Amino acid sequence: MLKFMNQEEIRRFLSSFEGKRDRTIVIVDFGNVEKWKVNLGWKVGIRELSCLIRNFSSGENSRNRRRFYYGSDYGKDERNNQLTEWSRSKLEMAKWNKFEIVTKRVKYMKNRDNLNGFDKKCDLDVEMAVDLIKLRNEFDHIVLFSGDGDLVYAIKYLRENFGKSCIVFGARQHIGREIFDAKSKGVIDNVYFVEDFEYRLRDRYGR
C-alpha cells in the first residue's frame, strides 16, 4: 500500500534539506511531469514547482542545479523557426522562475492511428544523464521529478562510483517499475508522490 504523507511529515521532510541545499541538484523532466495530469486530475504549475524546489536547492550557482528539460515545439513544418505559443509560454515561465533550461526541437512523427495524424516526440533522457555525470562535482544529492525509469542506470553509476544519493517525485499511477525496483535495491533512497504535495504544486492559474 502506498503511504500518504501528512502536512507535518512534509514539513519535516523539507526541513531535512536545510544543510544540503547548496549540494543538491534538481532534475525536472517536464514533458513527463505534464503527463501526470491524466492521473492527478490537476496540473503541476511551473511557478509552484519552482517554489517547492527552493526547499531542495539554493545558494551559489543554484540556477545551474535547478534544471528544466522540455522540448521546443515549432510545429509540423520543419522549416518553421517560430515556437508555438504553448511551447514559448512554458519555456518563458521556466526562465522567469530561474530554471536552467535544456531543450531541443520536438519531432513530428507520422502516425495514421493517431487522430491528429502524427505523434510528437522529444526525449531528453540522454541530456539529463550526461548533465548528471558532467556536473557530478557540483552536487551530492539528486532530486528527480520524473516517473520515467530511464535514468536509473545513470543514477546507479553515480551512487556506486561517487556516493550520490537520489530521491524521486512522481504521480502514484505514473511511476515506472524500474524506479521502485531501484528503491528496493538501495539505488534510489525514496519515492515521493506529488498527490501529497498538491497544495504546493497545483497550478493556481490553470495554465
Question: What was the pLDDT predicted at 1?
Answer: 42
Question: What was the pLDDT predicted at 193?
Answer: 95
Rounded Cα gap, residues 91 and 100, in angstroms: 10
In this model, does residue 151 exceed pLDDT 50? yes
C-beta of residue 139 within 8 angstroms of C-beta of residue 164: yes
Q: Supply the mean pLDDT for the chain.
A: 91
* Domains recognised in the chain with CATH numbers: 9-201 (3.40.50.1010)
Q: What mean pLDDT do residues 15-20 have?
A: 95
In this model, does residue 21 exceed pLDDT 70? yes
Strands 24-29 and 66-69: parallel
Q: How do residues 23-80 score in pLDDT, each as one tens digit?
A: 999 999 999 999 999 889 999 999 999 999 999 999 888 999 999 999 999 988 888 8
Torsions phi, psi for 109 (to 5 deg): -110, 125
Rounded Cα gap, residues 155 and 132, in angstroms: 8
